[in-house]
Amino acid sequence: MAEVSLPPLPPDRLPLHVAIIMDGNGRWAKQRGLPRLEGHRRGVETVRSTVDAARAMGVRYITLYAFSAENWKRPAEEVGGLMSLLEFFLKRELNALVRDRVRLRAIGRIQELPAQVYRQLQATIDATAGFDDYHLTLALNYGSRTEILDAMKTCAQAAAKGALDPEKLDWSLLSRHLYTADLPDPDLIIRTSGESRISNFLLLQGAYAEYFFTETLWPDFTPADLHAALVAFSKRERRFGQTSEQLNPAS
C-alpha cells in the first residue's frame, strides 16, 4: 500500500495517464511450483495494490492490459480461470471503486467476453460512470490492430453513407473512433517481467509515451516499483519531435 514512506514526486512531472502491461504471472507461479492460475490470482492482488498506490501518488488515469485479443489461444482452463478472476475482481472491487470515486472503463471487444463477465463489467461501468476523479481502464479482449480495424470500418461506413468526407479524415477524427476516444493518451507505459515488447497494446495512443521496462514479475510489483517508474518518468525530457533548445529556450 502507498502508506510506505516513499519520497514525494514533483506534481508537475507526474504522468496523467499510466498504462501497464502486467506480465510474468506464469513465471512467478512456475518458480514456486504452483499452477499458472495461482500466479494470476496473486496478480489480481497486485492490481488492487497498484491501483491504490497510483491514486495515492496522484496518477489520475491507469490502464491495465488484463486480457489480450490473442490470449484466447491459451489453454481453455487458463482462459476460464482468468475470466472467473475478472468476474471475482469486479464484484469484489465495486464498493471500493465507488468509495474512492474511481470510474471504470473497458477497452477492447468486450461484447465477446462470457455473458456473466460482460454483465458484471457493464454493471461496474454503469455504477461508476459519474466519477471523474480517478479513472481505471481494463484492456479486455484488446488488441491495437483490431481496434484500428474497428475504427476504420466505422469511418468507411460513414464515408459510404456520405456522413464523413474522406478528405477531412485526420488523427483527431480517427482517434474519436478508437476504444480510447474519451481517454488521454498514455504518458508512461510500464511492462513488467523483463520483456521489452509492446504486444499490440495502445500502439497509436502510445506514439509519444515514455516506456519503462522492469525485471520485476507482475505478482511481485509493489508501490515502490511504481514509484521508481514515476521517478524515472519525471527525469525524462519529452520533446514531441522538437529540439531540446526549443523546449528550453533559456538554457
2 phi and psi angles, rounded to 5 deg:
-80, 0
- The question of whether 71 is a catalytic residue gets the answer yes
Q: Does 97 bind ligand FPP (CB under 6 A)?
A: no
> Of the candidates 199, 180, 189, which has an alpha carbon nearest to the alpha carbon of residue 138?
180
Stretch that binds ligand FPP, among 25-33, 50-58, 161-169, 202-210 (CB under 6 A): 25-33
117 or 230, CB closer to ligand FPP?
117
Size of the site for ligand FPP (CB under 6 A): 20
- Here the cell at position 87 is 468476474
CA distance linking residue 138 with residue 130, whole number of Å: 17
Q: Does 190 bind ligand FPP (CB under 6 A)?
A: no
Candidates 19, 22, 139, 230; binder of ligand FPP (CB under 6 A) is: 22
Please check whether residue 207 is in contact with residue 182, taking contact to mean a CB–CB distance below 8 angstroms. no
Write the interaction track for ligand FPP spanning residues 139-178; mark x where CB under 6 A is met and - where it is not.
----------------------------------------
- The question of whether 95 is a catalytic residue gets the answer no
CA distance linking residue 33 with residue 59, whole number of Å: 35
Among the listed residues 12, 25, 52, 71, the single catalytic one is 71
Q: Does 236 bind ligand FPP (CB under 6 A)?
A: no
What single string gives the DSSP state of each residue in 180-224?
A: TTTSPPPSEEEE-TT----TTSSTTTTTT-EEEE-SS-GGG--HH
CA 108 to chain centre: 11
Candidates 44, 107, 189, 202; binder of ligand FPP (CB under 6 A) is: 44
Residues with catalytic function: 23, 71
Summarize as ranges the residues that interact with ligand FPP (CB under 6 A): 22-27, 40, 43-44, 47, 64, 66, 71, 82, 85-86, 89, 138, 193, 218
